[in-house]
Structure 1
Amino acid sequence: MTCETLAIRPYQPADEAALIQLWRDCGLTRPWNDPAKDIARKLTVQPELFLVGEIRGVIVATLMGGYDGHRAWINYLAVAPAHQRRGYATELMRAVEAKLLQMGCPKINLLIRSGNVAVQGFYKSLGFELDEVISMGKRLIPDR
């Protein structure tokens, strides 16, 4: 298994179909969230924090970041199953961390679905710790 160089760049509109398929392949989509609407919404706020990773022109990874002036959030971190465990997710996280530091961001938060135990170790290896909080949400605009 050769580890090829990941080219990281900002999202481009032509990436939409490939990203949505990548998210589906990685089990990130849910029936109540329309991924095309998530992309469209993200492009209106800090599109420079919406990153894509390519190998030889093929999209194999993505990360959607955001910073509200208080905390940053990470969403849709995904690496194509055939390219996992090669350090690409770490590369994307380091790239967005550098951008967030330039913006003066003091902390990154992220949510992990309770059933996704495997990814907890990955984030711990990057220095993330469990925050003693309860996540609550309220949908203002239904996607479906």
Structure 2
Amino acid sequence: MSFRIRPFQRPDTESVIALWHAAGLTRPWNDPRQDIERKLRVQPELFLVAVDDAEVVGSVMAGYDGHRGWLYYLASDPARRGEGIGRALVGEAERRLEAMGCPKVQLMVRPDNVAARGFYDALGYEPFDIWATGKRLIADA
């Protein structure tokens, strides 16, 4: 493995945002800088990056609300796919969540993201039918 996993640090901000753009994770209605700032206020130890030397090559945000754990912003450098970066990040996030007493972890994948669905399936994640809904409380834009 030519990378290591560590908690996010503020100097990683621009590299992480560029990674999220490259991985197609950003959306116009979510300001990635705001998402980072919000995460740094709540369980910052669950915001992880994979680095190769000083280069950020992967990220994952995890959270635990006392009932379920969640994964967000899992990304790996598109040029380095297949090296196990995503798998390692998910594994480390799961270990940290389990150490907090988290009994189950969930995530959301857009229905048309077949590659991500296959990736999570290979990691033992099981799809289930739910009606996902949300309400924005603070507008980023």
Task: Please classify the TM superposition score into its range, dividing by the shorter chain length.
Answer: over 0.9
Partner AA of 2:85 in structure 1? Y
Instruction: Note the C-alpha offset of 1:56.
Output: 1.9
Partner AA of 2:62 in structure 1? G
Give the structure 2 partner of residue 59 of structure 1: 56
Residues 1:89 and 2:83 aligned together: no
Aligned with residue 125 of structure 1, among 122, 125, 129: 122
Instruction: Note the C-alpha offset of 1:114.
Output: 1.6
Which stretches of structure 1, 4 residues or more, deviate above 6 A after TM superposition? none
TM-score for both structures, normalised by structure 1 = 0.96
> What CA deviation, in whole Å up to 9, does each residue of 1:5-43 have, x standing for no partner?
221000001110000000000000000000000000000
Residues 1:116 and 2:113 aligned together: yes
SS in 1 for 2:110: coil
Instruction: Note the C-alpha offset of 1:87.
Output: 0.8
> What CA deviation, in whole Å up to 9, does each residue of 1:45-97 have, x standing for no partner?
00000000001221000000000000001000000111111111000011111
What percent identity do the matched residue pairs reach?
Answer: 50
Partner AA of 1:23 in structure 2? W
Unaligned runs of 5+ in 2: none
Q: Where do residues 66-85 of structure 1 align in structure 2 (5 Å cutoff)?
A: 66-85=63-82
Aligned residues: 141
Partner AA of 1:142 in structure 2? A
Q: What is the alpha-carbon root mean square deviation over aligned residues?
A: 0.7
Unaligned runs of 5+ in 1: none
Give the structure 2 partner of residue 29 of structure 1: 26
Give the structure 2 partner of residue 46 of structure 1: 43
